[in-house]
Structure 1
Amino acid sequence: MRIADIEVEGPAAGRDPGLPNRTGSAAVPVRSYEPEGAAWATLVWAHGGSFMRGTLDWPEADWAARRFAEAGIRVHSVDYALASDTVKAPAPAADVAAVLRWAGAEEGPLVVGGASAGAHLATLAALAQADAAAAGAGRPVDALLLEYPTLHRVQRLDPELDAATAALPAQRRFDAGRIADMYDSYLGDAAGAAAAGAVVAGELPAERLAALPPVVIVNADADDLRASGEQFADQLREAGVAVVETVQPGTVHGYLNRPHEGERARADAQQSIDRFVAELRRILAAG
């Protein structure tokens, strides 16, 4: 496996994004993982972190990318601009979309995916790529991989899931207040978000979601955000998008970021990667 840190021209190249930055980065840091043999697909991958945290060294970025590369997939892990007082939506998604657009020049199937908030950004990037392809400025994505995604500011109620997560420590919970705070921080003021075209994936109409490629969703088990992943899967089906969803048993949110906690943790993380790889092969073979 060959690993290299590079920079890709970002959406703010050659212009002042202003404050808060809702445009994206001038140059987007990317860590690329080249498999030993010929790559059979290229994956642009976005780590999670509630839109506000995360690095290319997080296991959710580095460990996961290494496992995908071991399976023969070229991976570009994106160090997108994190939401903060000076960075707001849609800048993080625009960074992921810029890397996806750049990766589209490579041969072979093109895939985008991510974990948690990164899965949200990957979804928006896939839609941006579909728009570009429709305008003759690139090619569409062949598949979208979502690991325990968050896709809604207000997700549907699930009393059974609430009961399953009630005993978790606070740092593992995503109650309605925490979810609202996360999206408020990401989006910033409503007027600025609307003017910049910032959207929430789970709030898009079916006709917009219909532009997405086949989707694979792996949810954590005892995870409040599982409600969002399952709700989005239903929305995709209503939009006519092929979707496969599964739950990794006995896991909580963020388990892909903790493969070194023990043998079971590594097995759960590896099984999820294996599921993505297997479903991706199936999608590409059917396409």
Structure 2
Amino acid sequence: MRKLDAVGAESLRWYRPEAEDSSAGPTLLWLHGGGFFRGSPAQPEAHDVARVLADQGVRVVTAAYRLAPFPGTGPLRRRPGGPAEQPERFRLPLEDVTAAARAVSAQSPEGIVLGGASAGACLAAAAALHAVDDGTPPVGAVFAYGFFHAARPRESDPAHRSRGHRRITHAPWALDVANRNHAGTRRALVHRYAFPGGHDLTGFPPTLVVNAERDTMRTSGDRFAAELAAAGADVERHVLPGSAHAFLNRPGLPAFTTGTALIAEWMRRRPTPA
């Protein structure tokens, strides 16, 4: 895993509304994307999203997490002298996110919402599931164009597929390679904390899902929203017309404005703990 200067609770960046008061509502812990192997809280998908949401009255915290090596540069070798595979990589960023969530929760009596974009959405979903299992569920979850399954669901509308350079970088085989790289072992791919999609989601908190229209990952996002609803979660789902993957990483796009407005409005409706 790549070494970062600070991860988890040590990397927290707080974005507070200018007129924040005790009724500001829950805090959103927001995670950047990047295929699990790149990205940082400094990129627009984290910094600009948090800044704009704070301007709209939402308290936001971003955090770094340990990244996997670039796919193909960190081969999954077997340990010398034995058949066992390398340790599961997905547990390291998950540890960072859960540590960040605990730190934010300690300073957020109004509760915490876990959220993120793309790979960050998957990590936020895993951390939310982990918190549910621990009996300390967040008050909500927000996912933007996330990928939640170990392998891309094969049923999809060709019109929804990514275009331009993402036809290659987001091809099903490329997504499967990135997922294996994040999980660390073939066996780890099926762990519910590596990819929550397809697993028992009972007890999951109210969730907002915002997907891009032209996005190969949309199949996973749409299916995960359906799985959450089937598990009894209160799910609100939006698909932004004409949008493509990573629209939150481009603040000049209309989809960025629409997406952040949807998140801010949904956050303002979150109840606070009794």
Q: Normalising to structure 1: TM-score of the pair?
A: 0.79
1:128 is paired with a residue of what secondary structure? Answer: helix
How many Å apart are 1:190 and its aligned residue? 3.1
| Aligned with residue 114 of structure 1, among 113, 116, 122 | 116
Partner of 1:225: 217
Is 1:211 matched up with 2:203? yes
How many Å apart are 1:20 and its aligned residue? 9.9
| Aligned with residue 152 of structure 1, among 149, 152, 169 | 149
| Aligned with residue 238 of structure 1, among 230, 238, 242 | 230
Q: Percent identical across equivalent pairs?
A: 33
2:220 is paired with a residue of what secondary structure? Answer: helix
Q: Distance in 2 between matches of 1:271 and 1:179?
A: 27
Q: Distance in 2 between matches of 1:34 and 1:279?
A: 17
Partner of 1:269: 256
CA spacing shift, 1:99–1:240, aligned 2, 3 Å: same
Amino acid across the alignment from 2:194: V
Q: Please, which moves more after superposition, 25-34 or 231-240?
A: 25-34
Question: For residues 214-264 of structure 1, what are the alpha-carbon distances to aligned partners after superposition, in whole Å with 9 as ceiling and x for unaligned?
Answer: 01000001001111111001111111111011111111101110123xxxx
How many Å apart are 1:172 and its aligned residue? 5.2
Show structure 1 runs of 5+ residues with no match.
1-18
Is 1:64 matched up with 2:66? no
Partner of 2:79: none
Partner of 2:250: 258
How many Å apart are 1:128 and its aligned residue? 2.0
How many Å apart are 1:198 and its aligned residue? 4.9
Structure showing greater relative contact order (alpha-carbon pairs closer than 8 Å, 6 or more residues apart): 2
Is 1:163 matched up with 2:164? no
2:267 is paired with a residue of what secondary structure? Answer: helix
Partner of 1:5: none
Q: Distance in 1 between matches of 2:193 and 2:25?
A: 33
CA spacing shift, 1:244–1:27, aligned 2, 3 Å: closer
Q: Distance in 2 between matches of 1:220 and 1:271?
A: 11
Conserved in 2, the CA contact under 8 Å of 1:51 and 1:82?
A: yes
Q: Distance in 1 between matches of 2:2 and 2:219?
A: 31
Is 1:77 matched up with 2:62? yes
Q: Normalising to structure 2: TM-score of the pair?
A: 0.82
Question: For residues 199-221 of structure 1, what are the alpha-carbon distances to aligned partners after superposition, in whole Å with 9 as ceiling and x for unaligned?
Answer: 3111322xxx1121001000001
Q: Distance in 1 between matches of 2:2 and 2:32?
A: 22
1:104 is paired with a residue of what secondary structure? Answer: helix
How many Å apart are 1:83 and its aligned residue? 1.4
Q: Distance in 2 between matches of 1:200 and 1:125?
A: 11
1:151 is paired with a residue of what secondary structure? Answer: coil
Partner of 2:174: 178
Partner of 2:129: 127
Partner of 2:104: 103
Question: For residues 71-106 of structure 1, what are the alpha-carbon distances to aligned partners after superposition, in whole Å with 9 as ceiling and x for unaligned?
Answer: 222211011111124992121122111111111112
Q: How many residues align?
A: 250
CA spacing shift, 1:89–1:159, aligned 2, 3 Å: closer
Query: CA RMSD, aligned part only?
Result: 2.7
Conserved in 1, the CA contact under 8 Å of 2:143 and 2:208?
A: yes
